[in-house]
Every structure is written in C-alpha cells, then in structure tokens.
Amino acid sequence: MRSTWKVGGLLGVLTLGVLLASPHDAAAQARPPVKAAAAPAAPAGAAVEAVLTSAPDVPPPLTRRDPAKVVVHLEVREVDLEISDGVMYTFWTFGGQVPGKFIRVRQGDTVEFHLQNHPDNKMPHNIDLHAVTGPGGGATSSFTAPGHESQFTFRALNPGLYVYHCATAPVGMHIANGMYGLILVEPPQGLSKVDREFYVMQGDFYTVGSYREKGAQPFDMQKAIDEKATYVLFNGSEGALVGDKALKAKVGDRIRMFVGNGGPNLVSSFHVIGEIFDRVYTEGGSRYQENVQTTLIPAGGSAIVEFKAEVPGTYIIVDHSIFRTFNKGALGMLRVEGAEDKLVYSGKEVDADYLSEKAGPPSTAVASAVTALEKGTLDIKTQTAAGEMLFKGTCSVCHQTTGQGLPNVFPPLAKSDFLMANKQRSIEIVLKGLNGPVTVNGKTFNSVMPPMSQLRDDEVANILTYVRNAWGNKGEQVTAAEVTATRSKIKLPPGAAH
Amino acid sequence: MRAVVLSLAIVLAGGSAFAAAPGGMARVGPGSLRPLYAPDSGTTAIDVRAFELARVPVTNREFLAFVQSHPEWRRDRVAHVFADDGYLRHWVQPDELGAGVDPDQPVTQVSWFAAKAYCAAQGQRLPTEAEWELAAAAGDTSADGSTEAGIRERILAWYGRPAGARLDAVGHGTANYWGVYDLNTLVWEWVLDFNGTLVSGDSRSGASADRMQFCGAGALAAGDKQDYASFMRLAFRGSLEARYTTSSLGFRCARDVVGP
Amino acid sequence: MKALRLLTGCAALLLALGGTGTTGLAQHVHPAAPPSAAPARSQSLYALSATLSDQDGRSVGLDLFRGHPVLISMFYASCPDACPLLIARIQRIEADLSPRERANLRVVLVSLDPERDTPEALQALARARGLDESRWRLMRASDDTVREIAAALGIKYRRLPDGSFNHSSVLTLLDRSGVVQARVDGLGRPYADLLKRLRAAAAP
C-alpha cells in the first residue's frame, strides 16, 4: 500500500529499531525463522551485497531463511544504444541497459539503497520502487545530481514482484527512455523450485522518426502524450530476445518468467505462442490463476508466469495486441530443445486430399475400383486399395487407421474375432449400425455405431474387403451384389437414408 | 578599477581564439515571465527589469585566469563547503588545463560558490533564475520562443543527448533574439537563486506542498505544462546543492544595466 | 555492517570522509576522499567568513561560537508555522541534554528577512519565546550573505510578493571547529542521530 509522508516517521522509527538492534547479531541468529504473518524480525548476520543481473538473467533464488541487511548499489547511466537494427537511441538506464538490473530480496529484508548518478550523465535522477512503503517509494530520498550518490533505507514489508522506475520530472520522459526494472521480494519460504527463470520487461518507445527509420532518433514527446508508440519492445531493443539471443530451455524444464511492463503508456496482453501458462501470479501478487493463455500486465506492473516445456521448438513471445508484435517489434523467442513427444504434439500427421462427398474427381484407387466394377474386372487387390481410401475418410475416425480402435470405447477390427466370425453380420452392421454390448477379443464394448447410410453398396463391399484382409486378418472378398442383397433383406432403422 | 584590470587580463590571456568567440554583454529585457511553479496562487507573471547578460558562458580559459589570480579557488585549496570533489577535475593540474581541455569550451565542474566568486571578481554577479529564464525563453526572432516552430524540439533534443559527447566551444551556434548564445544547447547554467525552488525530490508531489518540509504559502501550480525544458531545468536545479559540480554545468555572469 | 558502523562512528572518521552529514533518512554521500586528503582544504562551515549582526545590533562573524557545538538554522520572525516549530524543536533537543551539555551548546538562527527582522524585532522574539540569550543568537545579514548561508546549509527559500517566505527547514549541527556533523531536513523527521552526535561534540 502506498502511504503519505506521515509514514516517513514510522519508517524512521523502524530504521531506528534496526540501527539499535544491529549490535545484537548473535541473538538475532538464534531466533527461529519468521512466518509471513508475524512482526518483522531485525536482520540477522552480516550485511549482504545484493547480486544484481541484467535481463534476461535472474539472480539465483535466495537460500537464507532469515531477513538480512541487503546493500544495493545501482548506477544510472545515460547511454546510446541500438533500439533496432541501424537505429540509435539515447537510453537512460539503471545499470547500463533496458530494463534495469533485477534486484532480488526477501520479505523482511532491510535494504540500504545507493543510487549513483554517473558523472557523465546530464540529468538528475531518482528511483521509485513499488516495493517500498514510504514517501514516493524512495523518490523523495534519492533525488541525485550527476556525479553524486544518494542513500536511503527501507524494509521490504510485502512479498511480490514489483516495478521500479525513475520519478524525476518530466516523469513520462524518464520512463519512456527506459528507466525501469523489477525488484522481487521473495516470501519467507521462497518460491517453488523451477529449472529456469527468465527476466522479460516490455516497454513502449517514441521516436521522432518512424519505425525502423535509420540513424539517431530523438525522443518524441508529442507521440508519447498521444500514446502513439513507434516501438513496443521486450528488453529495450528489437533484437533483444531473438536469434542467438533467444531464451533457451530444455524439454522437461519447468520455466518461470518474471515479466514486467515499464510502460510508460501501454498495457501488455502477454502470450507465448504454443504454450499455456500453468500458473500466473497475476500482477505479481501472491495468488495464482491456472491454465491461462494470455495475461494482462498493467503499465507499471508485473506478472509471474510458469509453465513446463513439453515439446521442443521455438516459442514466440508476444504482446497479443498483435500489431505491436508484427509492426512495432514486440517479439521474443524461447527455444526449447530435446526429444519430441508426438502424443502431446505430433507435428503434421496427414497431408491428405480432402474430398467432400460431392467433390470433384475421386482418388485414383477409388476411381479404378468403380471403373473395374463397371467392366466386371474387379479383383480383390483393387477393392482393397479402394477400400483403404474409403476406410480412412470414414471408419478410421473411430476404429483408427491401425484398426486398433480405442480401448474401452471403440472395438478393434485388427484380428477381431467378432468381425471375422461372420461375414454376413459385418455387412449388416455397416448398413444398419450397432448398439449395445459386444465382446471383441474378450473385451466388452458398449458404444454406438451409426448406420453408414452415405455409402453405396460397392463402397461398402470395398471397405469390408479391405477390413477383412488388413492388419493380419485373413478374410475373403465381399461383393457389391452381396451388399445389395443384404440391404434388401434387412430393415433399416428409421432415419437411415439411402 | 580591479574589475577593469581583471577584464583586461582575461582578454590578454585569451589571444586570437578568444577574440573569435562573441564576448561582452547583451542587453536583455525588460519582459514578463510565465513562472513554471508560481510562488503563490496570485502570481501569473513575473516582471523582469532590463539587465545585461554575458553573450556566452564563461570558458575554461577565463576561469583558469581567475584561479591563477585567486589561488584559494584552486581545486586543491578550495574549502569543502564551497566545492565538492569533482571541482575542476577535468583540468590536468589545479592551475593548468592540459592538452585534452579546449580553452574555449564552457568551464564545467564548477560550483555555485565558485561561479559566484568569479562573477564578483569581474564586478558582476550571477543572473537570477527569472533573468536567465527570460533570456532563455526567447527564440531566434522573438522574445517568446514558444511561438517559433522547432525551438522546443531542439531544446529537448539537447536534453536527450548524453553528456559524454565532447562540448562545443562557446558561441558557435546562433544568437537568440537578445543576441545571447548557447542558453539551451550547451551546458546547464548556475543562477543566483537556484535554491529558490521548493520542490521535493519526488517530482510527482506537485501541487500540494508539504508544510512540514516547506514553510510558506505552498501553492505550487505549474504554469505551462508543455514547457518540458523548463521542467527539466527546474528538476535539475532542485537536485543541486551549492557546492555541487557536474560535467554539464557551467555559468555566465550578469550585471545591472549600466547607463540609460 | 560497515554502513552502520559509519553512522555510529566517531567524528574523526567523518572528518576524514569529507564531513558528510545525515539528513534525516537520506544521506547525500560525496565520493569519499582518502583519509590522506590534503588538509589544506578546510572542512569547516566557517570557511564562509560572513559578517552578520545579532539581536543586540552587534556585528559578529558567522564563527562567533567557534569552540562550541552549534545548532544552526534559518527562520524569519513573522513566520506563522514552521519557525515556531523549529524553535520548539531545538528547545526539546536542549531538554534532552544534561545541564553541562546544554551549557556548552550554542544556537544560531539567521533571519531570511533582514528588512523586517530588525534587532528590536529579534529581541522581542527572543523574549517572547524565553530563549536563553547567553547561548541563543538571532542574526540578520545582507541579502547576499543570507543567500550564501542558505546555500551552504542546503536551505531553499524564496521571498513572496506579500513579504512572507517559502522556505525549507534544515537543522544543522556543527562541531567545535564548525564542521557539519548532522543535518535534519524537515520538522517531522526524527533527530536521534543528531542528538547522539551533539552529545559527542559537547563532550569536553
């Protein structure tokens, strides 16, 4: 919760408590680990220098179980970098890159924050960390001229993934130039273990020139006010997460992404093509939603997404306000390597001709059979070939191309005792369908097979010839005449047309 | 008399390169300024009397002459209260520029106290914020640059460029309406009352003044919200203490109008 | 715990590091000069050799209390809110001291408003607030000197058209040599650290 300046007094008392408690390190270490709901304990042990990383890397998970005094040194640098191929932009950065360094602390930590403004910088800067409870999130206490350093101390009261950014006038310009990053405050028990963690932060950028117009591009204040972004990017440049800079993982990895949105203006519809987020800690908070395709990340907000890499391939990271991806650069890549798993994703299985019933010339095998029947030269081989084609379009939906059926659902045809026992019965079943329990190869099935009323007699004959001779079945020919005769004898169920 | 002698010494020390840059003072104003942060709700304009302003910022060469004749302002002698550890750090020696420093560049890494002392030594003073802003508000052809296309963009473009780039020598751009150079495109500049702007370190606090921090009327209503350059100058001044120096911060002198 | 040691360290260490002071919760740290920094660069505020006049109209230097710890700030007599609070705050700090420490302490308040804060006005204020005038001096000076003292103390101020002032409230502690030991920026801020250093500076 953000607070008024009056909390400054409270914070002062807390800081005082820290200062007074510090000599008693041994006593603090003897205390049991703190539960999230209990009053925050004084930091234990010696002060720790925070490990800061540049995106997309994340500092390792914290192993300490008690709150500590953590010292952060963060340097502001104004630098010229490529925002897109051949396009230069003057970024104002926390740590030399956009987004700024990732800071990882624990709930209850006392953070001694040093903001350093490099002497070669032109502008004053400060920092507002959304993790800070206190005036301006630290901005009032960190206003720093170039060549100077400010220090302030805060206690990380709440767990979560928080944005930090510069708040010096004009604030929108400082943010638009890239002055944002993430600070993670781990809960006392830490986060669940995953195999890979990544740091991705989206931002919108405004240049005088148009998208990909080459050369040094200055910031365009009017476009920023009108919210007409020239670039929408992950991690500050168009190539940041593409090609050999793509994020990398292995099949089977549990992946966690700490995703931020620095804005300044646009909300992100964050999505990874081909993946579903098993968990999303919406807005970087403490509760998660499950099975999410696309999650909204507010400007100045964050989300934690978790998913498992099941299948190898390149997964495209996008803002699903999709013109931003294809026309403004909001595109990143996650490359997953490892063994394929066709059950989860087979890749393309069939590239078959699609013939609707009324479509043009039938497939060759089927056409040959029709011609042969007319001529009276139909042999078992031609019938089988035609039957196979026709089987694939119709029967295989349930009985499968392998004839295996589906256990407990659709009976097999391959080596089926029920099928092969009675030819006449198999013709009848194709014509009028089958309800009720049947036992096939010792297993009982109780499903519904509809009448194949769309098939002509010769088609039925071809299919049955194929079926009764495929997959190791040792059967015989079924003729069109037999089917015709059977049809005239049996009573077709109502609605079965022909 | 001392001022005359010192001015002469400065001119003599300059040589031909100095003569190329426009020297002397330009007459600015009188005029009326729209304050960015009005000191109270009643003030919509600040009247500025005519005054004289140096055409260009003080150069390395000029400041060197001052330090040589006022050794208490050498970086190895100056009191801590007057200058921080960055003071004149770009000179090779406390009393020598060195080959890497162009004598005609605006002197930077100077504190408010140092700038003030320099101007006093010339029989001059620092301009007030209102005087400086009035001079800087001008465009190329009129006293109010906001009416001229492209002026704001040009200024913002300077603010967007990092300080690492080598500074130009003074006076090489175009003079503005008042005949003054380099006000918005070379270095930040000290003003006499730089510590007259009561804004907190958090630039978003805006209109409501914290009475426990700032005593007084406390009505801070930003005047022209479109004037980003002024916002940035305001923010920059607010981050400074009198002893601070930076690589982009220099100064020029002013004086009251002499004669009719 | 290096940083905490710094805050609780002795004055000598602070001197070597350039006389930085705490400012309430924020600390402006200047790049630390090595302990062997040239002693020729004075650390004292009294390098600003200003001439003022006190509530008795006597001409005095800014360093009139050299040899004593000094609390110094700025105010103006007709200030409605902050300045009475500032005086009250200093009085509360005094009350926290032992009689001997208090006897050692001096207070210097410089007026932002030399035009209206005449010696008579300053005397009236001193009497009205019951100030111990043997240790409290209320001063006035030229506009230029006022500007320099405010700049040196980090106090922001601006005169308004109606004659009142916008100004910040910064209370600064100087040691016996005039070196800044602590700064508290804002009247609501805790001053425990300043108090601790005041005691250290007031010790014989």
Which pLDDT score, from 0 to 100, does residue C54 have?
A: 95
CA atoms within 13 A on the CB side of A9: 8
Q: How confident is the model at residue A226 (pLDDT cuts 50, 70, 90)?
A: very high
pLDDT surpasses 50 at B258: yes
Q: How confident is the model at residue A37 (pLDDT cuts 50, 70, 90)?
A: very low
Across the range A191-216, mean pLDDT stands at 96
Which pLDDT score, from 0 to 100, does residue B10 have?
A: 47
CA distances from A246 to A38, A55, A119, A388, A406 (A): 42, 12, 34, 45, 41
Which pLDDT score, from 0 to 100, does residue A354 have?
A: 61
Interface test with B, best of C147, C170, C171 (most B CBs within 10 A): C147
pLDDT surpasses 50 at A229: yes
Contact B201 A219 (CB under 8 A): no
Across the range C142-163, mean pLDDT stands at 92
pLDDT tens-digit profile of B86-96?
Answer: 999 999 999 99
pLDDT surpasses 70 at A418: yes
Contact C166 B82 (CB under 8 A): no
Contact C18 B85 (CB under 8 A): yes
Q: Provide the number of CB pairs (under 8 Å) joining chain B to chain C.
A: 113
pLDDT surpasses 70 at A494: no
Helix, strand or coil, per DSSP, at residue A137 = helix
Q: Which chains pack against B, by 3+ Cβ pairs within 8 A? A: A, C
Helix, strand or coil, per DSSP, at residue A172 = helix
Report the DSSP beta bridge partners of residue C171: C184
Which pLDDT score, from 0 to 100, does residue B225 have?
A: 52
Contact C42 B79 (CB under 8 A): yes
Across the range B228-244, mean pLDDT stands at 86
Q: What's the rounded Cα separation, in Å, for the pair A175 and A99?
A: 10
Which pLDDT score, from 0 to 100, does residue C28 have?
A: 46
Which pLDDT score, from 0 to 100, does residue C15 have?
A: 34
pLDDT-wise least confident of A7-11, A87-91, A432-436? A7-11
The position carrying tokens 């004839």 is A403
Across the range C8-24, mean pLDDT stands at 34
Contacts of C7 in chain A (CB under 8 A): 19
Q: What's the rounded Cα separation, in Å, for the pair A217 and A215?
A: 6
Contacts of A123 in chain B (CB under 8 A): 159, 232, 235-236
Q: What's the rounded Cα separation, in Å, for the pair B242 and C150?
A: 9
List Cβ neighbours of B154 (8 Å cut-off, separation of 6 or more).
Answer: B184, B185
Instruction: Residues B8-60+104-256: name the CATH superfamily.
Output: paralog of FGE (formylglycine-generating enzyme) (3.90.1580.10)
Strands C70-75 and C106-111: parallel
Q: How confident is the model at residue A12 (pLDDT cuts 50, 70, 90)?
A: very low
pLDDT tens-digit profile of A322-359?
Answer: 999 989 999 999 999 987 776 777 766 666 656 554 44
pLDDT, mean over chain B: 81
pLDDT surpasses 70 at A376: yes
pLDDT-wise least confident of A234-238, A390-394, A490-494, C161-165? A490-494
DSSP string, A305-337: EEEE--S-EEEEEEESSTHHHHHS--EEEEEEE
Across the range B112-125, mean pLDDT stands at 97
Could you count the other beta carbons within 10 Å of the beta carbon of residue A163? Answer: 28
pLDDT tens-digit profile of A466-477?
Answer: 999 999 999 999
Q: Could you tell me the pTM of the whole model?
A: 0.69
Provide the ipTM.
Answer: 0.82
A105: exposed, middle or buried (Cβ count in 10 Å: 0-12, 13-18, 19+): buried
pLDDT-wise least confident of A79-83, A140-144, B24-28, B158-162? B158-162
Mind telling me how many Å the CA of C99 is from chain B's nearest CA?
30
List Cβ neighbours of A80 (8 Å cut-off, separation of 6 or more).
Answer: A88, A89, A90, A91, A216, B162
pLDDT-wise least confident of A388-402, A429-443, B61-75, B145-159? B145-159
Report the DSSP beta bridge partners of residue A289: A280
Q: How confident is the model at residue C22 (pLDDT cuts 50, 70, 90)?
A: very low
Across the range C82-86, mean pLDDT stands at 85
CA A153, distance to chain mean position in Å, is 37
pLDDT-wise least confident of A187-191, A280-284, B130-134, B141-145? B141-145
Length of chain A: 498
Mind telling me how many Å the CA of B47 is from chain A's nearest CA?
26
Is residue C170 within 8 angstroms of chain B, CB to CB? Answer: no
Residue C90, token pair as written in the block = 């200093």
Report the DSSP beta bridge partners of residue A438: A445
The partner residue sitting opposite B239, judged by closest CB among A79, A144, A171, is: A144
Across the range B142-156, mean pLDDT stands at 79
Contacts of A42 in chain C (CB under 8 A): none
Q: How confident is the model at residue A486 (pLDDT cuts 50, 70, 90)?
A: very high
pLDDT surpasses 70 at B5: no
Helix, strand or coil, per DSSP, at residue A457 = helix
pLDDT surpasses 80 at B231: no
Is residue B247 within 8 angstroms of chain A, CB to CB? Answer: yes
Which pLDDT score, from 0 to 100, does residue A339 have?
A: 79
Residue A22, token pair as written in the block = 């510090």
pLDDT surpasses 50 at A361: no
Which pLDDT score, from 0 to 100, does residue A4 have?
A: 44
Q: How confident is the model at residue C14 (pLDDT cuts 50, 70, 90)?
A: very low
Which pLDDT score, from 0 to 100, does residue A6 have?
A: 46
Q: Is the dihedral of CA B98, B101, B103, B106 positive or negative?
A: negative
Residue B96, token pair as written in the block = 């020598």
pLDDT-wise least confident of A402-406, A419-423, B64-68? A402-406
Q: How confident is the model at residue A190 (pLDDT cuts 50, 70, 90)?
A: very high
Find, in chain B, the residue whose alpha carbon is nearest to that of A137: B202
Which pLDDT score, from 0 to 100, does residue B3 have?
A: 52
Q: Where are the domains of chain B?
A: 8-60+104-256
Across the range C18-23, mean pLDDT stands at 33
Across the range B47-55, mean pLDDT stands at 95
CA distances from A80 to A87, A194, B161 (A): 10, 36, 8
Interface test with A, best of B88, B210, B239, B244 (most A CBs within 10 A): B239
pLDDT surpasses 70 at B219: no
Contact A9 C2 (CB under 8 A): no
Across the range A408-416, mean pLDDT stands at 88
pLDDT surpasses 80 at A29: no
Q: What's the rounded Cα separation, in Å, for the pair A323 and A459?
A: 50
Q: What's the rounded Cα separation, in Å, for the pair B181 and B135?
A: 10
CA distances from A321 to A201, A296, A299, A316 (A): 16, 11, 14, 14
CA C28, distance to chain mean position in Å, is 17
* Residues of chain C numbered 85-144 and touching chain B (CB < 8 Å): none
The partner residue sitting opposite A120, judged by closest CB among B163, B203, B244, is: B163
pLDDT, mean over chain A: 86
Across the range C146-161, mean pLDDT stands at 93
Mind telling me how many Å the CA of B244 is from chain C's nearest CA?
9
Contact B76 C41 (CB under 8 A): yes
Across the range A277-303, mean pLDDT stands at 97
Which pLDDT score, from 0 to 100, does residue A493 have?
A: 64
Mind telling me how many Å the CA of A309 is from chain B's nearest CA?
42
Q: What's the rounded Cα separation, in Å, for the pair B101 and A210?
A: 38
The residue among C34, C29, C4, C41 whose CA lies nearest residue C16 is: C34
Contact C60, C53 (CB under 8 A): yes
pLDDT-wise least confident of A298-302, A314-318, A365-369? A365-369
Contact B97, B103 (CB under 8 A): yes
Residue C186, token pair as written in the block = 């804002």
Q: What's the rounded Cα separation, in Å, for the pair A488 and A492?
A: 9
Q: What's the rounded Cα separation, in Å, for the pair A263 and B16?
A: 52
Considering the domain C42-202, what is its CATH architecture?
Answer: 3-Layer(aba) Sandwich (3.40)
Phi-psi region of B88 (alpha: psi -120 to 50; beta: other; left: phi over 0): left
pLDDT-wise least confident of A241-245, B199-203, B235-239? B199-203
Contact C79 B215 (CB under 8 A): yes
pLDDT surpasses 80 at B40: no
Look up residue A26 and give its DSSP letter: H
CA angle, corner A485, sides to A479 and A490, nearest 5? 125
Q: Provide the number of CB pairs (under 8 Å) joining chain A to chain B.
A: 107
Strands (E), A389-450: 434-440, 443-449
